[in-house]
Amino acid sequence: MDFSLSKEQKLIQQLASEFAEKYVEPVSNQIYEEKRIPEDLIKALAEYELLGIPFPEEYGGSGAGYLSYVLALEQIAKRSAGLGVTISASMLGAGAIMNFGNEGQKQKYLPPVCQGQHLASFAFTEPGTGSDPKQIESTARKEGNYFILNGTKRFISNGSYPGPLVVFARDTEINSISAFIVDKFCEGYSVSQPWNKICARGSNLVDIYLQDVKVPEENLLGERGQGFPILLTSIAFGKIGTSTCALADTLAAFEEALNYAKEKLHRGEPIAKFQAIQLKIADLAIKYELARWLCYRLGYLADTMKDWQQFAKEAALTKSCVGDNAVHAARIAMEIHGSYGLMEDYKISRIYNDAILGSQIEGVSDMQKLIVANNLLK
Ligand SMILES: Cc1cc2nc3c(=O)[nH]c(=O)nc-3n(C[C@H](O)[C@H](O)[C@H](O)COP(=O)(O)OP(=O)(O)OC[C@H]3O[C@@H](n4cnc5c(N)ncnc54)[C@H](O)[C@@H]3O)c2cc1C
């Protein structure tokens, strides 16, 4: 077993770290306050080739694999959870096209995402269903060479940005779920006001309304009626990003706590002198290492594993553990800060809110555990 990173992986990690320090850190407060990502930042990410890391070069990516994506996203999301979620959500939509699209779809939709002109979206959640996508009520009706889509999708990341939307709807003729690629802002596409989130501020989250949206037959993603397996596999790949954002929150909490413990004085000496603080710092180090190796492992498995059902189990296991772990880490870091942590002036207050996200999206932690158990018990 070799835990060392390749030269290329180290370079990408270093590049992302430098990028985040130079371009993300200076605007991280602005992202939080204004609740939007500056347009220039997405373009800069593309210039540094950080938006299509796992995708092959022929589609505008770097061909560097999912482990490299994890290494880069960790560095970026540590500085801004909002930006991290934006990238992760776009990778979820684009990843579905990469895994299930035909050649024409990949050629058309992936390069603009890698070049930062577009952000992809992925829509399964509806007002009536999140954890149980079999209950999807949006409909697709076949009419000649088109499908007509109707329905409301809830909590869709990047829904206000132009780009491809991978959307799931019940194909009424065959009474089964199919997946489609919709060009956002086509006729019949509209969005709500952005949701006012307590976490990952800056990432765009809206409801999407599809009203008689005419989707050409060639925009069917994968086979007709095969939407459910496409959904499950794509979400499994999406969990690489979601888990990495939780890893980044854990690292941010760890670093903030470490700095605070060294700087905050008690009777003239840093609070780090107290054993109770030292135990918490060690707990944070343990939590970071645990999350790090699970996420790196998931990236490695995405690059090497052939059985997608097994991969889905590993992704669920990772997200469940790393998502809950981030919440615990943020809590410990908060305790080290005492009352100061409750003040918005202190970064830990923001990290504390950001940390809850990983255990909630793309299926709550309990649902992840059910995926793991079902796989083990079948
Ligand atoms: C910032 C953010 C970004 C998001 N981005 C997207 C996106 O881009 N695309 C998208 O489609 N969605 C997105 N979502 C939605 C998110 O993925 C869903 O909210 C999530 O999957 C959980 O669904 P729910 O909120 O409907 O919870 P529910 O399904 O209502 O679950 C509520 C509770 O009931 C429990 N529960 C439900 N069913 C079962 C069951 N069968 N067995 C046991 N327990 C059960 C759950 O464990 C949970 O504790 C986003 C959400 C947020 C907050």
CATH of residue 370: 1.20.140.10
Domain span holding position 278: 228-377
Does residue 202 have its Cβ closer than 6 Å to ligand 1? Answer: no
Cβ atoms within 10 A of the Cβ of 370, count? 15
Q: CA angle 159-320-129, nearest 5°?
A: 45
Q: Quick one: pLDDT at residue 226?
A: 97
Mean pLDDT of 343-350: 96
Q: Quick one: pLDDT at residue 332?
A: 98
pLDDT in tens, 122-138: 999 999 988 888 899 99
In a domain, 20, yes or no: yes
pLDDT in tens, 214-273: 999 999 999 999 999 999 999 999 999 999 999 999 999 999 999 999 999 999 999 999
Say whether pLDDT at 1 is over 90.
Answer: no
The residue out of 73, 93, 114 marking a domain boundary is: 114
The fraction of the chain above a pLDDT of 90, given in percent, is: 97
Say whether pLDDT at 206 is over 90.
Answer: yes
DSSP conformational letter for 291 = H
Residues 312, 280 within the same domain: yes
Say whether pLDDT at 153 is over 90.
Answer: yes
In which element (H, E) is residue 285 found? helix 275-304
Say whether pLDDT at 185 is over 90.
Answer: yes
Does residue 364 have its Cβ closer than 6 Å to ligand 1? Answer: yes
Q: How many CA atoms lie within 13 A of 348 on its CB side?
A: 26
The residue out of 114, 137, 157 marking a domain boundary is: 114
The residue out of 61, 94, 114 marking a domain boundary is: 114
In which element (H, E) is residue 278 found? helix 275-304
pLDDT in tens, 283-338: 999 999 999 999 999 999 999 999 999 999 999 999 999 999 999 999 999 999 99
Say whether pLDDT at 374 is over 90.
Answer: yes
Does residue 239 have its Cβ closer than 6 Å to ligand 1? Answer: no
Residues 185, 306 within the same domain: no
Does residue 243 have its Cβ closer than 6 Å to ligand 1? Answer: no
Q: Which residue's CA is minimally distant from atom 23 of ligand 1?
A: 130
Estimate to the nearest angstrom the gap between the alpha carbon of 63 and the chain centroid: 19
Residues 165, 246 within the same domain: no
Closest CA to 74 of 9, 137, 129, 122: 9
Does residue 166 have its Cβ closer than 6 Å to ligand 1? Answer: no
Distance 363 CA to ligand 1 centre (A): 5
Residues 101, 140 within the same domain: no
Cα 257 to Cα 20, 28, 71, 252, 358, distances in angstroms: 20, 19, 22, 9, 20
Closest CA to 148 of 110, 104, 103, 178: 178
pLDDT in tens, 65-111: 999 999 999 999 999 999 999 999 999 999 999 999 999 999 999 99
CATH of the domain at 203: 2.40.110.10
When divided into structural domains, the chain yields a total of 3
Distance 362 CA to ligand 1 centre (A): 6
Distance 306 CA to ligand 1 centre (A): 28
Residue 103 CB contacts under 8 Å (≥ 6 apart), including other chains: none
Distance 348 CA to ligand 1 centre (A): 26
Say whether pLDDT at 378 is over 90.
Answer: no
Closest CA to 326 of 375, 253, 258: 253
In a domain, 2, yes or no: no
Closest CA to 326 of 297, 294, 299: 294
User: Which amino acid type is present at position 3?
Assistant: F
Closest CA to 337 of 318, 114, 24, 329: 329
Strands 205-216 and 189-191: antiparallel
Distance 316 CA to ligand 1 centre (A): 14
Residues 328, 245 within the same domain: yes
362 is annotated as an active-site residue: yes
Q: Which residue's CA is minimally distant from atom 7 of ligand 1?
A: 156
Work out the pLDDT band at 57, boundaries 50, 70, 90.
very high
In a domain, 90, yes or no: yes
The fraction of the chain above a pLDDT of 70, given in percent, is: 100
Residues 169, 207 within the same domain: yes
Does residue 122 have its Cβ closer than 6 Å to ligand 1? Answer: yes
Catalytic residue among 49, 74, 256, 362: 362
Q: Quick one: pLDDT at residue 33?
A: 94
Does residue 231 have its Cβ closer than 6 Å to ligand 1? Answer: no
Q: Quick one: pLDDT at residue 187?
A: 98
